Amino acid sequence: MEIKQLLGEYECKVDAKGRMRMPSGLIAQLGENIAHVFVINRGFEQCLMLYPEPVWDRITNEINQLNLYNKKNRDFVRYFYRGAQKVGLDTADRILVSKRLLEYAAIDKDVVLLAYSDRIEMWAAGQYQQLLEEEPADFSDLAEDVLGKANGKPEL
């Protein structure tokens, strides 16, 4: 099942038991033809990543092709999979996030979900605000570095 482009920022709350209600706008983007099951793990920065299950399966299929006799590959695999767990929506459209993952991301109560491409980042609201405040001084320079044109085509 192909996941279409996910978009948006959503403010949410985590309750004392670690449950967070998924925004209806985000659920609608996922569509009705997909089971609302995710894999959550630690992100590259101090956030959590939510992958719809088909996206997780595709990514891990690639990762599982790595040569584990190579130390850098083993290190990456360990880092990538640490904390990973499958979560599904309950009848109130909530997911349960483990205490350990919440602690890693310094999430107490207020959360911002940032949906892009086919995944969702889960940030402590204060850290997300700090991230926004640390925007590059010249976004156009960053865009040129990342998407600079070669032969009239973006270097993706």
- Residue extents of the structural domains in the chain: 8-154
Residue range 103-112, pLDDT digits in tens: 999 999 999 9
- The pLDDT score that the predictor gives to residue 125 is 97
- For the chain, the 3-state helix, strand and coil shares in percent, each to the nearest 5, are 35, 30, 35
C-beta separation of 101 from 48 below 8 A? yes
Tokens of 64: 């599982």
For domain 8-154, give the CATH superfamily. Answer: Transcriptional regulator MraZ domain (3.40.1550.20)
**Coil, helix or strand for 139?**
helix
Half-sphere CA count of 47, side-chain side, radius 13 A: 23
Q: What is the pLDDT of residues 15-54, one digit of tens each?
A: 999 999 999 999 999 887 667 899 999 998 899 999 999 9
Tell me the whole-structure pTM to 2 decimals: 0.86
Question: How far is Cα 83 from Cα 99, in angstroms, rounded to an integer?
Answer: 11
* pLDDT digit string, tens, across residues 57-109: 999 999 999 999 999 999 999 999 999 999 999 999 999 999 999 999 999 99
β-bridge mates for residue 52, sequence order: 38
Cα torsion 76, 84, 57, 128: sign? negative
Interval 143-152: pLDDT, tens: 888 888 655 5
Residue 156 confidence (pLDDT): 56
Whole-number pLDDT of residue 135: 73
Instruction: Note the pLDDT of residue 132.
Output: 87
Amino acid 64: pLDDT: 95
Query: What confidence score (pLDDT) does residue 32 get?
Result: 73
